[in-house]
Amino acid sequence: MNSGINVTKIRARGAAYVAEARIAQMMKWKGIIAIVAIGNPLFYLVAIGIGIGVLVNENSGTSGTGGVEYITFIAPALLASAALTGALDEAMFPVMEGFKWRKLFYAINSTPINPGQIVLGVFIGALARVVFTVVCYWALLIAFGVVTISESWDVIPITIFAAGAFAAVIMGVTASVKNEDYFMTVLNRMIIMPMFLFSGTFFPLSSMPIFIQPIGWISPLWHATELGRYFSYGYSISSTMLVIHFGYLIGMMIVGFKLANQKFAERLAK
Amino acid sequence: MKTAVEIADARANRFGHQLYAGRARAILERGFIALRSSTWVPIATGFVEPVLYLLAFGYGMSELIGNVDSGRGTVDYAVFIAPGLLATSAMNGAIYDSTWNVFFKLNESKLYQGMLATPLGPLDVALGEITWALLRGLSYAIAFMAVTAPLGLVPGISAILAIPAAVFIAFGFASFGMAITSYFKTYQQMGMINIVLLPMFLFSGSLYPISVYPDWLEFLIQLFPSWHGIELVRDIWFGYWDAGTFIHLGYFCVMIVTGLYFTTRRLRNLFMR
Amino acid sequence: MPESLISARGLTKKYGDFTAVDAIDFDVAKGESFGLLGPNGAGKSTTMRIIAATSQRTSGSISILGRDPEEHGPQIRAHLGVVPQQDNLDGELTVTENLFIYGRYFGLSKKFIRNKIEELLDFAQLQEKRDSKVEALSGGMKRRLTIARALVSEPDILMLDEPTTGLDPQARHILWDRLFRLKETGVTLVITTHFMDEAEQLCDRLVVMDKGKIMAEGSPLELIKKYSTKEVLEVRFGSERNKEVAPVLRDMCSRIEELPDRILMYVEDGEALLEEIVAKKLHPTTSLVRRSSLEDVFLRLTGRSLIE
């Protein structure tokens, strides 16, 4: 009897099936994802960009932000931070759910789909969320007249790439964690929050005391923000720094994937 | 030694004995027992958040912004935001405790169901849970004060009153948050809470005076509880009492009473109807 | 008539248009073990919640220890130990902490509870697990802890809603043993269940509920005598042939029930009937003679199975 199950096909498309399941799962949250994707940039741009922008403009004009309006200065940073937050959500929760809460990965692993394909599938799912978030954000920036289409389109792939690198690392780290109960709290308060605040998002990293600056150096958000500024309004960066920014993010992507693949295989073999 | 029945019978003719057994402290006791065996990291890191904001905005932004007109005289930007951050973190903590924590105990662990199968009433549970959240808020507020004072951000000794003020506004948010949470059934609905809170906090003047906005938006913001909370703590921090201060106080009194009323009613309808 | 602890007349509970409990009458005497037997959705749990003073009736009357739960909820709850269908133990606390804090909810003194805990740990056979978190317990242990917790206030009535649902056979037997011991000490038990064996094991008297109504009342033995025959012959002819054979079988005994997979024949002597069937060359693929149970009573009363 032909059951219609084609093992070769499943083997080849395993990651796509996992990604499909992930996206179906996200659709349960589509209302919230959409509101966040549009509301987040809107509120941040109006509140911080305009609200604080007024204070900055009154006090120091554009001298502290490299000659651009404050809103132009923070726009690529907010874009990158929204992309990374989306990546975090869709890389961390599915992994916890998959291994601990609902043990979904064990079920998937008992089909012809292998651990590496689960990693890739979850990654693609996270990327889908990132793409949606970034496109919405960018469209709003255009609508606000903060950036122009022709000048800034290349910010999109760069930001998606940075968020992807972050997602890969988060997947690897989450899969390595044994005590999920407070991992989230610690991650949020001790890593995500400082990263958000000290990555040169709201002010140039160089205005922080030197002992704080390393937080930015290791933060993917800082690298993504610097690249975002370079590509969106021609913020000047030395070619060495360009190479460092790209190199760091590529490195994160590779290390993240390696760790995720290894940890997924280990845990699923148990 | 009194038996459970004697203890309950002793209150049988008191006003409101169906709602309140006079033992909210038993809920607090539960909190302390749970705390003993829980991991300290999430609790200890709770106070880090406002401090990080203060470091980032207070110092990072001060180069860009300099001094700000606080409405109570021109002050350094870090001084301006310190009370705003204290108020914000008190409100956020209260909201977290009264929403996600309560949601879990209502729907996942069914803890309230167990409590209300005993002679305890819904008001015991509401008061106990909220007081527990406030104790945590109180310790964070004290810690924040302990960090800001040596940094020279606290203008005077009377600013110490900002600590009870922070707890007071947290009370308003906790009692209201618990009432709202009791209506929610899904995680998606819970997700909406964060979405509503984000603009409320971004716009409520913790990081800049709302006078930068057009009049209509300024008026709208003045309706938000978060704005009243931030302004109240800021008034007290700077020792600047005026009619507005009392309006803020009154606003939170109303919020506390309505929140408690709805929480008690909801718990009764959910578990005792 | 012994002293009646619980007495309900015309007790009704409606949720909007839906009537969960439909004008039922019953009494529970002191020291007895009273059961509510019925399938899921029969109104058992709702009845339990009304007795436990955590749900208010729509109409009718009920008195628990002579009091109306609408007026004296907290006082009634002080007399009760409640074991809900789903364990709601405090997951953040250990076994002893669970017992301790529950006693505190009743307002009991710390000293009293501390002594009580030792007794309850022995009773629930959880001494070795006393400092374990609830999460680390098996399903049967959790259930025993929930029962121990309900006993911390020395209740007059212990309410058990589906006490062994979801437990493995061994864990069920341990639990039944504990409940027997409890009965011996004079605690009144009110039990809901959809397991007929459990009802037969634990209940002195029970009511059979279906769709919010009480269909019958009595001791397990009385009910079986009244609504069923002494023995039941279960025969299977394979799903295709059952229908074909049924009319023939119907003429051979007072009553038969056709279930999807088998036919039940109600008789006084099962073996004799089986011989008759074989003599007619109707060879069943399987056959079983057993005593009548509450399952048969339920089938007779409602035309449906207890477990669907």
What's the pLDDT tens digit per position in B41-71?
Answer: 767 777 788 888 888 888 888 888 888 887 7
- pLDDT cut 70: percent of chain B above it: 99
Q: Which residue of C73, C82, C90 is in closest CB contact with B272?
A: C73
Q: Any idea what DSSP says for residue C72?
A: H
Q: Is A158 left (phi over 0), alpha (psi -120 to 50) or beta?
A: alpha
Over chain C, what is the mean pLDDT? 89
Long-range contacts made by residues A205-211, C-beta under 8 angstroms, separation at least 24?
A207/A64, A207/B59, A207/B60, A207/B63, A207/B64, A208/B59, A208/B60, A209/B59
Contacts of residue A227, Cβ cutoff 8 Å, sequence gap at least 6: A158, A162, A242, A245, A246
DSSP state of C133: B
Question: What's the mean pLDDT in C175-182?
Answer: 89
Alpha-helix residue ranges (DSSP H) falling in B99-121: 100-103, 111-116
Q: Is the pLDDT of residue C92 over 80?
A: yes
Put simply, the answer to whether A54 touches B48 (Cβ < 8 Å) is no
B46-50, B151-155, C80-84: which has the minimum mean pLDDT? B46-50
**What does the pLDDT read at residue C2?**
57
Q: C-alpha distances in angstroms, A253 versus A249, B189, C222?
A: 6, 34, 74
Least CB–CB distance from B34: residue in C52, C72, C92 = C92
| pLDDT tier, C1 (very low <50, low <70, confident <90, very high otherwise) | very low
Query: For B243-271, what is the mean pLDDT?
Result: 92
Percent of chain A with pLDDT over 90: 27
Q: Does the distance separating the beta carbons of B65 and A59 come in below 8 Å?
A: yes
pLDDT at C192: 93
| pLDDT for position C4 | 86
Res B26: pLDDT: 94
What is residue A60's predicted lDDT score, i.e. its pLDDT? 80
Q: How far is B251 from chain C (nearest CA, A)?
A: 33
Residue C77 has pLDDT above 80, yes or no: yes
Neighbours of chain A (3+ CB pairs under 8 A): B
A157 — pLDDT class (breaks 50, 70, 90) = very high
| Segment A128-157 mean pLDDT | 88
Nearest C-alpha in C relative to B114: C88
Interface test with A, best of B40, B41, B65 (most A CBs within 10 A): B65
**% chain A with pLDDT above 70:** 96
**Contact of B53 with B153, CB cutoff 8 Å:** no
Chain B residues with CB inside 8 Å of A56's CB?
61, 64-65
Closest Cα of chain A to B201: distance in Å?
Answer: 10
Looking at residue C121, its pLDDT comes to 94
Of A2-11, B18-27, C236-245, where does mean pLDDT reach its minimum?
A2-11
| Per-residue pLDDT, A50 | 81
Query: In this structure, are residues C9 and C176 in contact, taking their beta carbons and an 8 Å threshold?
Result: no
Q: What is the DSSP-derived secondary structure letter of residue C67?
A: B
Q: What's the CATH code, domain C229-291?
A: 3.30.70
For the record, the structure tokens of B70 come out as 């606080």
Given a contact cutoff of 8 angstroms between Cβ atoms, the answer to whether B64 and B139 are in contact is no
CATH of domain C4-219: 3.40.50.300
Strand order across the beta sheet in which C286-291 lies: C255-258, C263-267, C231-236, C286-291
Chain centroid, CA A100 distance in Å: 23
**DSSP assignment, residue B264?**
H
Place A1 in a pLDDT band, splitting at 50, 70 and 90: very low
Distance CA B120, CA B17 (A): 9
Q: Which residue ranges make up each domain of chain C?
A: 4-219, 229-291
**Three-class DSSP category at B17:** coil
**How do residues C185-215 score in pLDDT, each as one tens digit?**
989 999 998 888 888 889 999 999 999 999 9
At C261 the pLDDT is 82
- All partners of chain C with 3 or more CB pairs under 8 angstroms: B
Q: Which pLDDT value is given to residue A2? A: 56
Model pLDDT for residues C114-167, shown as the tens digit of each residue:
999 999 999 999 999 999 999 899 988 999 999 999 999 999 999 999 988 888
CA distance B93 to chain A (A): 13
Q: How confident is the model at residue B120 (pLDDT cuts 50, 70, 90)?
A: very high
* Pair of tokens at residue A64: 């502290």
Q: Which two tokens stand for residue A60?
A: 């120091």
* Predicted pLDDT at C98: 96
At B118, the pLDDT band (50, 70, 90 cuts) reads: very high
Q: Kindly indicate the confidence band of residue C301, based on its pLDDT and cuts at 50, 70 and 90.
A: confident
Domain boundaries, chain A: 11-269
Chain B residues within an 8 Å CB radius of C20: none
Which among A55, A208, A209 has CB closest to B208? A55
A contacts of B198 (beta carbons < 8 Å):
39-40, 43
Report DSSP letters for chain A, one per residue.
Answer: ---S--HHHHHHHHHHHHHHHHHHHHHTTHHHHHHHHHHHHHHHIIIIIIIIHHHHHHHHTTGGGTTS-HHHHHHHHHHHHHHHHHHHHHHHHHHHIIIIIS-HHHHHHTTT--HHHHHHHHHHHHHHHHHHHHHHHHHHHHHTTSS-HHHHTTHHHHHHHHHHHHHHHHHHHHHH-S-HHHHHHHIIIIIIHHHHHSSSSSS-GGGS-TTTHHHHHH-HHHHHHHHHHHHHH-----HHHHHHHHHHHHHHHHHHHHHHHHHHHHHHH-
For residue range A87-108, list pLDDT tens digits in order: 998 888 888 888 877 778 888 8
Question: What pLDDT score does B249 carry?
Answer: 96
Query: A172-187 pLDDT, tens per residue?
Result: 998 888 776 677 777 8
pLDDT of residue C306: 64
**Mean pLDDT along residues C271-288:** 84
